[in-house]
């Protein structure tokens, strides 16, 4: 397998999206969560002797450092720790772990010790059987991860598999234009858009309409049109759907203010207002700030329905 080089795309410190954000604090929080083994853990503490690195936090930390334009500390140890998470046959304990580890390797410009493509084929067979079956919760997010990895390793979907995925997506679409295994929501709608984009399916205007219906006070985006609750994951999902259609958020100031309110005294971000800081949510916060770069002030924007972006980046479009 060829070595993959990834260029850092740092967020500019002088941009208005950073108003009220402690970027240096986010950096200090992130590097303080790296353990002696090289991996990261959001609750790691040298003072208390707590060090339990995991794949999700390590992937999140590497993405944070990339967004901040900062180098990875103890890179060699991090690569070694990531390699130890892969089984001798090239598989991983779970798809979430496999996704996190393999994307982390890509961010570091390194390859895993063993070829994961046989494992990824088995995961594809598990998720996308040609015989119809009832879809379980989590199918959209897992499919998003698996397809992203197939593309990362140059693997092609067969015609039958593509048809099976397309049929399942159709079954997860609701009358309001949103997607979800048990009712539509913004997070799964974004995942469905990412899966459809990877298959180069025609853009579904209902996804944009549903996302617009989720926009509004007091946070910029709500999880569903009828909800008055949100999270960084929901905000991130909403911005990704809009970006895929070439649309701008109507309430960028509300989104930024919510993100700023989620930053804790430690420098990291919690998933919602008042929540404890976690690396994965800090990643989402910085991805949101990156998406807000160049967003106009508060005003309505005319939507133009275009084909969704074909770029499946580091998180399922997680």
SS3 241: helix
Q: Are 143 and 128 in contact (CB under 8 A)?
A: yes
The full set of domain ranges for the chain reads 20-114
pLDDT confidence of residue 133: 66
Q: Are 160 and 168 in contact (CB under 8 A)?
A: no
Tens digits of pLDDT across the chain (318 residues):
333 333 333 444 445 677 789 999 999 999 999 999 999 999 876 666 667 999 999 999 999 999 999 999 899 999 999 999 999 999 999 999 999 999 999 999 999 999 999 999 999 999 999 766 667 778 999 999 999 999 999 999 999 999 999 999 999 999 999 999 989 999 999 999 999 999 999 889 999 999 999 999 999 999 999 998 999 999 999 999 999 999 999 999 999 999 999 999 999 999 999 999 999 999 999 999 999 985 544 333 444 433 333 333 333 333
d(CA 67, CA 51): 24
For residue 138, with 0-12 CB atoms within 10 Å meaning exposed, 13-18 middle and 19 or more buried, which class applies? middle
Strands 220-221 and 269-270: unpaired
d(CA 72, CA 87): 25
pLDDT confidence of residue 314: 37
Token pair belonging to 75: 């890179």
Conformation bin of residue 141: beta by default, left when phi > 0, alpha when psi is -120 to 50: alpha
Q: Which of 78, 141, 64 is nearest to 112 (CA)?
A: 78
Q: Which of 103, 117, 126 is nearest to 153 (CA)?
A: 117
């Amino acid at each position: 397998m060829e070595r993959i080089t990834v260029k850092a795309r740092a967020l500019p410190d002088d941009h208005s999206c950073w108003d009220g954000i402690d970027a240096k604090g986010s950096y200090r929080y992130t590097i303080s969560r790296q353990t002696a083994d090289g991996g990261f853990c959001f609750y790691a503490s040298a003072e208390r002797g707590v060090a339990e690195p995991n794949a999700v936090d390590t992937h999140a930390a590497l993405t944070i450092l990339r967004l901040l334009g900062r180098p990875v500390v103890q890179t060699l140890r991090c690569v070694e720790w990531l390699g130890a998470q892969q089984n001798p046959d090239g598989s991983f304990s779970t798809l979430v772990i496999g996704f996190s580890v393999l994307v982390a390797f890509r961010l570091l410009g390194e390859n895993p010790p063993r070829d994961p493509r046989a494992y990824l084929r088995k995961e594809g067979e598990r998720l996308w059987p040609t015989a119809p079956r009832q879809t379980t919760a989590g199918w959209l997010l897992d499919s998003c991860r698996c397809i992203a990895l197939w593309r990362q390793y140059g693997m092609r979907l067969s015609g039958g598999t593509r048809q099976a995925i397309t049929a399942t997506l159709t079954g997860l679409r609701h009358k309001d234009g949103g997607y979800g295994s048990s009712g539509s929501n913004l997070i799964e709608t974004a995942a469905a858009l990412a899966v459809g984009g990877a298959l180069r399916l025609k853009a579904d205007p209902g996804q944009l309409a549903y996302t617009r219906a989720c926009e509004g006070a007091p946070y910029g985006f709500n999880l569903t049109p009828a909800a008055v609750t949100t999270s960084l994951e929901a905000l991130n999902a909403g911005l990704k759907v809009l970006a895929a259609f070439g649309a701008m958020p109507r309430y960028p100031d509300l989104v930024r203010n919510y993100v700023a309110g989620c930053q804790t005294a430690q420098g990291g971000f919690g998933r919602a207002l008042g929540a404890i800081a976690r690396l994965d949510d800090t990643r989402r916060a910085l991805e949101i700030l990156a998406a807000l770069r160049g967003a106009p002030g508060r005003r309505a924007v005319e939507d133009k329905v275009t084909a969704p972006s074909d770029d499946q980046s580091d998180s399922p479009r997680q």
